[in-house]
Amino acid sequence: MNGHFAGTGKDVTAEDFEHGVQIIDQDKNFNDNLGAYLQLEGITRAGFNYHLISVFGSQSTGKSTLLNYLFGTHFGVMSEQERRQTTKGIWMSKNKKEGAKEEGRMAENILVMDVEGTDGRERGEDQDFERKSALFALATSEVLIVNIWEHQVGLYQGANMGLLKTVFEVNLQLFLKDAKSVPRSLLFFVIRDHLGTTPLSNLQNTLIQDLQRIWSGLSKPSGLEKSKIEDYFDFAFVALPHKILQPERFEQEVQKLGTRFRDGYKDPKRAGLVDEQEEPVLLPQYHRRIPADGFPMYARGIWEQIDSNKDLDLPTQQELLAQFRCDEISKEVLVPFDEAISPLEEQQNQAVAAGKPSVIPELGKLMTTARSVLLASFEVEASRYHKGVYKRKQTELEGKVDGRLKTLFQGQMTAAHKAGLNDFSEAVTQAVKTGQKKGGSYDFHKIVSTEKEKALSRFQAQAQASIVEKTPWSDYKQQLNLYRKEIDEVSSRLRQEEMRRLANRSERWVRAKLDESVGLEFNKLGSGRGGSGAPEHGQKPPTEKDLWDRIWNVFTETVSHAETRFTDRARSFDASPDEVEVGLWRLRRKSWAALRAKIDEEMMEGNLLLKLRENFEDKFRYDEEGVPRIWRPTDDIEGMYTRARESTLELIPLLSRFKLSRTSAPPPLDAWIGEAPSNVTPADEEDLPPIGGVDDDEAKTLEDEMTILSDAKAADLSTRFKKTADGVYVEAKRSAIGGVTQ
């Protein structure tokens, strides 16, 4: 079978079909315009709601005339004068007459086939066509009108009997393969030019006897030897008056007969002989069950098989037709589907290509509608065809569209997933920023859990709105789980960032505190008695000797305070004990580095020299009560100078090493910092400078770490301090002499 049908070939108009459509021409070619004709007559979409009636009989027995009277068709008829054969091949036309007025009883879409008449006496080629056209009519028609002159009845050897023999043979051949569902056919005998002398019942009996005789004379295929003619055929008989001699009666009777054809079905469940003159003709059991839209193609396929003398296998033909039509219907229903779905696919692909995942709103609804419209239209059109083929093609079609919809659905899930994670991360970051702007007190844990809740319900809503109804694959449980997992991963990354921010804040706090308190301790050096002015009552005055003890104390207290705050904050947003441990370890190291930097700043040469000078001057120029001395020549200026200088010089070795006075050893920095936690990552260590005596692999020892001034620097400092002190001494000396002079 190929696809020549339904409007293929050249453009045709109603005028081309004035006499109907010539399905088969005299050269036995099938007409490509049958589809166009059915389209024009509005039958293509009728499904099973159409009927096919064929007429048979010898040439020039008034067949075309009869059909034209019955159905208002315009088949060509032989003019009275010329008397030569007119109908060639097989013609088809739609009934042009109105049906019964009674609602629901009208047989709609009656198609009539006018078959070229035969004459047994003519050439063998005609007998070939006779056989072929009989096969064709039987395979397609519900009713075969056998047109016969009254005077031919009983002429057993006549041309008509030859034709009937052919019909029976062909019928056996045709429905052999489909023995389970043999469609019945109605042989409707129309006896022409009935004079009335022989009653119809007699003519009918004669004909039946002849038919039985023909049937029993047939060589039947094995298995069907015992079959009876009634197994396959119903019979009906009608007689018409002479058209020329009794024109009025002829018209009346023809009119009555036409009504029987057009009056549609009732279903009296009858079989066998139909002899009541009032019975409607078209019964459901005669229908060949070829959907109207598939008819042109089926007819062509059948004709090609017949014409090439191949065995006509109707079930196979019907299956082939079903395959072809189901494929075509699939294509048709895919057009609106494509129109709905392709733009969505494009939108999604473009978003993916641009790296901007976008969630298509209402996707589920759009997909569900496109899918159900497609499946419903397919069902309407295709379910009329061979059930097995239809089911298979339906599954194929469903698989095809579901493949595409599934890709869309999954793309949508991916977009919702990516966008959701982004939005979540951004929302948390934004909330933190807002919190920071408002003064830094924000509940990170609450921010994360609120945003997480929002992100999950947003995802769920989007997934729900993307579901294609009635599909087992549109399920997002797995995606939701994955999404939840990744939200948690993002949360933990955000928490780490928050930990970093917290650590930075803690470090800054420690640095600021140390800046102030350590600076204060160093400033005290400027006073030779550990402070300018009298010590406060009840307090042990600070001495220069325990400078480092005080620094270490204030340092460890500050850090300990910071540690407590850090731990509290970190716990508040669910940082794990491990994470807290690492954070604290880093904080201690960074704090030490901050202290070390602060000390180095204080010990910069200029600063230090200034402090030593202040210290010296305080000792030299003020008495024990803190009152400035007025030098007199009798004063032991030299002695006081020497004591004060030596006292200040003692500070240099003291300042050179960070040592605790009670142990004379460096503070237990290594123990205080502690071992690195086991879960420290390289990233955690990246920005940490090494600490001597704490990090094993360092060449620096704890001693090195605690060396504030190298020996060379200390010696240099001593020299420069001495020069400064000398200057102060000389000045004092001068002022003493000057005081005497005055």
CB of 21 to Mg ion, least distance (A): 15
* Closest residue by beta carbon to ligand GDP: 62
Read off the amino acid at residue 316. T
- Among residues 78 and 155, whose Cβ is nearest to ligand GDP? 78
Cβ-contact 146, 56 below 8 angstroms: yes
Residues 127-146 interacting with ligand GDP (rule: CB under 6 A):
none
Among ligand GDP, Mg ion, none, the one that 696 touches (CB under a kind-dependent 5 to 8 A) is none
Task: Please give the single-letter amino acid code of residue 104.
Answer: G
| Contact assessment for residue 24 and residue 115, using Cβ atoms and an 8 Å cutoff | no
Q: Least distance to Mg ion from the beta carbon of 306, Å?
A: 21
112: region left, alpha or beta (phi > 0 left; psi from -120 to 50 alpha)? beta
The residues near 218 (Cβ < 8 Å, ≥ 6 apart) are: 165, 168, 169, 172
Choice from 31, 33, 44, 61 touching ligand GDP (CB under 6 A): 61
- 3 state SS of 111: strand
Reduced to 3 states (helix: H, G, I; strand: E, B; else coil), residue 372 is: helix
Distance separating alpha carbons of residues 187 and 235, to the nearest angstrom = 5
> Which residues ranging from 66 to 95 are in contact with ligand GDP (CB under 6 A)?
77-78, 80, 86-87
Task: Specify the residue, 119 or 398, whose C-beta has the smaller distance to ligand GDP.
Answer: 119
Instruction: Choose among ligand GDP, Mg ion, none what residue 466 binds, the Cβ cut-off being 5 to 8 Å by kind.
Output: none
CA dihedral 667, 668, 669, 670 (to 10 degrees): 160
Q: What's the token pair of residue 416? A: 């919702």
The 45-64 contact track toward Mg ion, x by CB under 5 A, reads ------------------xx
CB-nearer residue toward Mg ion: 47 or 76: 76
Tell me which residue of 647, 620, 625 sits closest to 636, measured CA to CA. 620
Question: Per rule CB under 5 A, is residue 87 in the interface with Mg ion?
Answer: yes
Residues 164-203 that bind ligand GDP (CB under 6 A): 192-193
Judged by CB, which is closer to ligand GDP: 126, or 698?
A: 126
Burial pattern 99-110, b for ≥16 Cβ within 10 A else e, equals: beeeeeeebebb
Tell me how far, at minimum, the Cβ of 392 lies from ligand GDP, in Å: 45
Question: What's the min distance (Å) between Cβ of 185 and Mg ion?
Answer: 21
The verdict on 63 binding ligand GDP (CB under 6 A) reads: yes
644: phi then psi, degrees, rounded to nearest 5:
-65, -45
C-alpha 325/C-alpha 384 separation (Å) is 10
Nearer Cβ to ligand GDP (63/452): 63
Shortest separation between residue 241's beta carbon and ligand GDP, angstroms:
8
Contact indicator for 373, 336 with CB cutoff of 8 Å:
yes
Nearer to ligand GDP by Cβ, of 60 and 227: the residue is 60
CA distances from 403 to 447, 463, 626 (A): 40, 18, 96
Q: Which is nearer to Mg ion, 69 or 337 (CB)?
A: 69
Count residues contacting ligand GDP (CB under 6 A)?
A: 18
Give the span between the Cα atoms of 461 and 476, in whole angstroms: 11
For the bound state, the minimum distance from the C-beta of residue 204 to ligand GDP, rounded and expressed in Å, comes to 19
What does 377 interact with, of Mg ion, ligand GDP, none (CB < 5 to 8 A by kind)?
none
CB of 242 to ligand GDP, least distance (A): 6
Name residue 118's beta-bridge partners.
58
Contact with ligand GDP (CB under 6 A) among 8, 39, 59, 556: 59
Question: Residue 60, interface with ligand GDP (CB under 6 A)?
Answer: yes
CA distance 476 to 466: 9
What is the C-alpha to C-alpha distance for residues 84 and 348, in angstroms, rounded to an integer? 71
| C-beta of 80 vs 696, nearer to ligand GDP | 80
Q: Compute how many residues bind Mg ion; rule: CB under 5 A.
A: 3
Which of ligand GDP, Mg ion, none lies near 65, with the C-beta cut-off 5 to 8 A by kind?
ligand GDP
Contacts with ligand GDP by CB under 6 A lie at: 59-65, 77-78, 80, 86-87, 117, 192-193, 242-244
